[in-house]
């Protein structure tokens, strides 16, 4: 399993391959004609390779749509890193004061300054993120980013499945075929419930990622300062 992650990466696995695989298997389960009538050579290896390849390609498309949608509308990835220095958004109480103190040092603002703008937050975020990247300390944050990507891509994935099911539902009604109405209602209820859950998970992962970056930054900075003080004695 570690070798697989090393080859395609956590981000690609969670953010593209899993949603793409789920989407493809869902189309097979709801009997979409274009999927049902695809023929493969009588080779299990070829079928597995084809499934993985198609899943990855579909996952890339879903991921790009999800990324555009979040950038233009929901802004779940952007909001925590542009508001975390403001009250009760990402950090609270004593931890917020501690973060603001470090922000004043990095941004060279006056003591007691609290009117942090979105630009202040972004500058602070990328400064700390770049520091951790240079020290190879971004593993936890990268996992959270991959989980955020997976959660939000699954929102788009489930909406796409519902659209496909709705098109099939209308098509079979117009052609007087027997369509399982209960199955469509189940897909509709599943989509509403799953999108709500994945939205909350994506929002939480995005906020936790920001917390993780700054907590690691502060902890690692303290460790470096302690080591430097011991070395100078």
pLDDT digits (tens, 9 = 90+) for 88-123: 778 988 899 999 999 999 999 988 898 999 999 999
Confidence of residue 233 (pLDDT cuts 50, 70, 90): low
The residues, any chain, with a CB within 8 Å of residue 32's CB and separated by 6 or more, are 164, 168
Q: In terms of Cα–Cα distance, which of 105, 118, 140 is closest to 215?
A: 140
Q: What pLDDT was estimated at residue 181?
A: 86
pLDDT-derived band of residue 7, with 50, 70 and 90 as boundaries? very low
Distance from C-alpha of 129 to C-alpha of 147, rounded to nearest angstrom? 18
Query: Which band of pLDDT confidence, cut at 50, 70 and 90, is reported for residue 3?
Result: very low
User: Which pLDDT does position 1 carry in this prediction?
Assistant: 47
Is 62:53 a contact under the CB 8 Å cutoff? no
Residue 59 CA from chain centroid, whole number: 13
Quote the pTM value. Answer: 0.89
Tell me the backbone φ, ψ of residue 164, rounded to 5 degrees: -60, -40
Please report the pLDDT score of residue 62 as a whole number: 97
Residue with the bigger pLDDT between 211 and 180: it is 211
**Average pLDDT value for residue range 212-231:** 87
For residues 74 and 82, what is the distance between their CA atoms, to the nearest angstrom? 14
pLDDT at residue 141 tops 90: yes
Pick from 23-32, 198-207, 222-231: least confident: 222-231
Residue 64: what pLDDT? Answer: 96
pLDDT band with cut points at 50, 70 and 90 for residue 86: confident
- pLDDT tens digits, 60-77: 999 999 999 999 999 999
Query: Which residue do the tokens 């990268």 mark?
Result: 142
Contact 179, 168 (CB under 8 A): yes
Among the residues of the chain, which ranges form H helices?
A: 2-12, 18-29, 33-36, 44-69, 78-83, 93-107, 118-134, 139-174, 181-232
Say how far apart CA 36 and CA 130 lie, in whole Å.
48
Average pLDDT, integer, range 158-163: 97
Q: Write down the mean pLDDT value for the chain.
A: 89
| Residue 61, burial from CB neighbour count under 10 angstroms (0-12, 13-18, 19+) | middle
Give the pLDDT confidence score for residue 4 in this predicted structure: 46
d(CA 91, CA 84): 6
């Amino acid at each position: 399993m570690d070798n697989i992650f090393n080859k395609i990466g956590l981000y690609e696995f969670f953010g593209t391959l899993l949603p793409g695989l789920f989407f493809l298997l869902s189309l097979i389960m709801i009997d979409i004609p274009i999927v049902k009538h695809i023929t493969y050579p009588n080779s299990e290896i070829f079928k597995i390779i084809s499934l993985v390849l198609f899943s990855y390609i579909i996952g890339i498309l879903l991921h790009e749509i999800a990324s555009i949608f979040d950038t233009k509308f929901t802004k779940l990835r952007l909001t925590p890193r542009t508001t975390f220095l403001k009250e009760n958004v990402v950090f609270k109480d004593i931890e917020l004061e501690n973060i603001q103190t470090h922000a004043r040092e990095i941004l060279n603002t006056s003591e007691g300054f609290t009117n942090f703008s979105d630009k202040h937050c972004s500058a602070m975020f990328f400064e700390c993120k770049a520091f951790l990247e240079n020290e190879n300390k971004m593993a936890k944050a990268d996992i959270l980013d991959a989980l955020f990507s997976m959660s939000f891509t699954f929102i788009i994935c489930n909406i796409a499945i519902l659209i496909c099911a709705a098109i099939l539902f209308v098509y079979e009604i117009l052609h007087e075929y027997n369509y399982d109405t209960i199955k469509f209602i189940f897909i509709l209820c599943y989509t509403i419930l799953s999108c709500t859950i994945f939205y909350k998970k994506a929002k939480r992962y995005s906020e936790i990622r920001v917390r993780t970056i700054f907590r690691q930054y502060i902890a690692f900075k303290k460790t470096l300062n302690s080591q430097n003080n011991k070395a100078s004695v």
